[in-house]
Amino acid sequence: MKLKQILLVAAAIGLSAGVPRAGGESAPLHIYISNGVKTVIDEIRPEWERAAGRPLAFEFGTTAALKQRIEKGEAFDVTVLTSEAISDLIKDGKVASDSRVDVARCGIGVGMQAGAAKPDLRTPDALKRTLLQAKSVTFAEAGASRGYLDKMFGQFGIADQMKSKTVLTPSSVDSNKLVAEGKAQYILTLVSEILPAKGVELAGPLPARVQSYVNFAAGAGAKSANADADRALLQFLKGPKAAPVFKAKGLEAR
């Protein structure tokens, strides 16, 4: 058999055996996910992978940390971050502008050690008293709600008092752990990050008059070579299967 015929037969055998083609159609898609929607993604992951027809490789973290990695040029296929971060990445040419979808929003809540007495959070004044009486509070230094919390403390006129009793952590996971272990009395962060935390219980959301929402959006990498799979993932986030999961995890689908 001539060399050319041998190569053709070998190629045919390789393709029929499921060897990935040059386009990398079996390679995992790289997905960057904000901690604020992690519980949703954990729940929908099997169906999300089926929608894409590809395995998914996840990176979870704060929006600020993931955005910085993307800005430095790390390759990715799809990302779900705060709406503001997605807007910035579109302006920078890192996220394809025509791929953006708004997916959900989440309010801020107060978490406490499981089984502890619930604080009074019914009104802004009650929340202010609870914060002043707290031995300590914690939240992520670069968390999506950090900016609003600092602003709220200022509006309450308690910024100086809170500075001395606030423990900043690298992520919401670390903050929840501090509360679970009794090293901080309360955590202030997105409701979606409190609900799944072990040893931590949601004391309640911020009062309606001072509540603030963090909006989340998704988009495909501007340089992603997997447009069809990316589109399928983004469409799934807006579909009927994802909406009830967002709600169950403390977010409102948009």
Q: How many CA atoms lie within 13 A of 132 on its CB side?
A: 12
In a domain, 4, yes or no: no
pTM for the full predicted model: 0.82
Exposed (0-12), middle (13-18) or buried (19+): which is 242, by Cβ within 10 Å?
A: buried
CB 111 within 8 A of CB 201: yes
Q: What is the pLDDT of residue 254?
A: 87
Number of domains in the chain: 2
Q: Are residues 115 and 208 in the same domain?
A: yes
Q: Are residues 80 and 175 in the same domain?
A: no
Q: Compute how many other C-beta atoms are within 10 angstroms of the C-beta atom of residue 157.
A: 9
In a domain, 35, yes or no: yes
Q: Are residues 124 and 194 in the same domain?
A: yes
Strand partners, 32: 59, 79
In a domain, 142, yes or no: yes
Q: Are residues 222 and 198 in the same domain?
A: no
Q: Are residues 116 and 208 in the same domain?
A: yes
Q: Are residues 170 and 158 in the same domain?
A: yes
Per-residue model confidence as pLDDT tens for the chain (254 residues): 444 444 343 433 333 333 333 344 579 999 999 999 999 999 999 999 999 999 999 999 999 999 999 999 999 999 999 999 999 999 999 999 999 999 999 999 999 999 999 999 999 999 999 999 999 999 999 988 999 999 999 999 999 999 999 999 998 889 999 999 999 999 999 999 999 999 999 999 999 999 999 999 999 999 999 999 999 999 999 999 999 999 999 999 98
Q: Are residues 76 and 120 in the same domain?
A: no
Q: What is the pLDDT of residue 25?
A: 59
Which domain, by its residues, includes 183? 107-213
Percent of the chain beyond pLDDT 90? 87
Residue 245 belongs to a domain with what CATH number?
A: 3.40.190.10
Q: What is the pLDDT of residue 26?
A: 76
Q: Are residues 65 and 143 in the same domain?
A: no
Q: Are residues 160 and 201 in the same domain?
A: yes
